[in-house]
Amino acid sequence: MFESFAVYLTEKASLTPEDLKLVEAVTVAKKLRKRQYLLQQGDISHQNCFIAKGCLRLYRIGEDGNERILRFGIENWWMADYESYNSGQPSKCNIDALEDSELLLIEKNELDALYKAIPKLHNFRVMLEAKSFDASQNRILSIISETAEQRYETFIRSYPEIFNRVPLHMIASYLGVSRETLSRVRQQYVR
């Protein structure tokens, strides 16, 4: 199960076999069944999670009781509530599995130590975070400037590997529209 993580780190971050040993020493494997939580509101998100297999989502519960999905994650993506992860404060979010999933967890302090030991890994992380920020800026632009239909198109274009893998009402939540509206938008699409 560490294997796919090793491949990822070798290809994306150019880690050597020696580097990988250091990583493996602090990595904990975890399997999650569909619907199981990785993190619940109030927990501290003290580990970073690499998704080897499966699909997760990160969401908050609004004052109206509805779920608002902030992010999805699939194979080769990282997942944590970074607000809690960085601050050490209790999380306002939940993370759960949308499919049976295989995860690799690293404690924040262990990962920070790895960054010191493997500068390449640190650079890789900085690059990843920059891309995450870009993605979230582009998502903001999409939400503030596009109609529901355009947002759905943008989502499909941006995440072709995700849109047909998660329930429609979750995509609706991610896009900030009601599931009925998204359903109607899709109809026009089929024609």
Partner DNA sequence: CGATTCTTTGAAAACAGTCAATCTGTGTGG
Partner DNA sequence: CCACACAGATTGACTGTTTTCAAAGAATCG
Per the DSSP assignment, residues forming a β-bridge with 30 are 103
Q: What are phi and psi of 180, to 5 degrees?
A: -65, -45
Q: Is 88 in the site for its own copies (CB under 8 A)?
A: no
Residue environment code for 142-163, b if the CB has 16+ CB neighbours within 10 A, otherwise e: beeeeebbebbebbeeebeebb
| Closest distance of CB 163 from its own copies, Å | 17
Residue 174 contacts which entry, DNA, its own copies, none (Cβ below 5-8 A, type-dependent): its own copies
Of 3-11, 87-95, 124-132, 166-174, the window that binds DNA (rule: CB under 7 A) is 166-174
Question: What mask, x for binding DNA by CB under 7 A, covers residues 58 to 97?
Answer: ----------------------------------------
Calculate the alpha carbon distances from 14 to 20, 50, 54, 118 in Å: 10, 17, 24, 11
State CA 159 to chain mean position distance: 12
Binding interface with DNA (CB under 7 A) = 147-149, 167-170, 176-187
Binding interface with its own copies (CB under 8 A) = 60, 62, 66, 68, 70, 82-83, 86, 126-127, 129-130, 132-134, 136-137, 139-141, 143-145, 173-176
